[in-house]
């Protein structure tokens, strides 16, 4: 009998630990499993985002050049690198920004 009690106690400890880990995971993420406090790491080039009231402004320096793209048909001026998730006035949004200049073909 004492071994059954020990086994039951060990099982309760394992279950409690799993519940504790699950609660910690919920605290780390918000709605839809997204991180609550950590912004996504992206390779944003030449884009500054400003918020003023209900206006979201993207500032792009059109004089910058990050070289010719892989296809050789355009030059990259600015890019967000990937789909950008962000919050604006408490709502979830996403955007993709790419600014290219066509290269004249000879």
Task: Express each pLDDT in 75-88 by its tens digit.
Answer: 999 988 777 777 88
Say whether both 52 and 103 belong to one domain.
yes
Distances (CA, A) of 71 to 2, 9, 91, 97: 73, 64, 37, 18
Q: Would you state the pLDDT for residue 40? A: 47
Q: Which domain holds residue 14?
A: 1-37
Residue 2 clears pLDDT 80, i.e. is over it: no
Say whether both 57 and 8 belong to one domain.
no
In angstroms, rounded to a whole number, what is the distance separating the alpha carbons of residues 11 and 49?
Answer: 51
Mean pLDDT over 67-78 rounds to 89
Q: Residue 61: CB partners within 8 Å, gap ≥ 6?
A: 46, 78
Q: Would you state the pLDDT for residue 23? A: 60
Instruction: Give me the residues paired with residue 58 across strands.
Output: 49
Q: Would you state the pLDDT for residue 72? A: 87
> H or E stretch including 101?
strand 98-102
Say whether both 32 and 5 belong to one domain.
yes
The first and second tokens of residue 21, run together, are 């880990």
Each residue's pLDDT tens digit, 15-52: 666 666 556 555 555 556 655 545 445 577 888 888 88
Residue 14 clears pLDDT 50, i.e. is over it: yes
């Amino acid at each position: 009998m004492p071994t059954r009690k020990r086994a039951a106690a060990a099982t309760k400890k394992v279950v409690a630990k799993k519940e504790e880990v699950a609660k910690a995971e919920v605290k780390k993420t918000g709605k839809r499993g997204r991180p609550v406090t950590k912004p996504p790491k992206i390779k944003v080039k030449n884009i500054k985002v400003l918020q003023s009231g209900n206006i979201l402004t993207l500032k792009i320096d059109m004089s910058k050049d990050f070289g010719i793209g892989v296809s050789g048909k355009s030059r990259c001026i600015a890019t967000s690198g990937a789909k950008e998730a962000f919050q604006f006035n408490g709502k979830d949004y996403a955007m993709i920004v790419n600014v290219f200049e066509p290269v004249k073909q000879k």
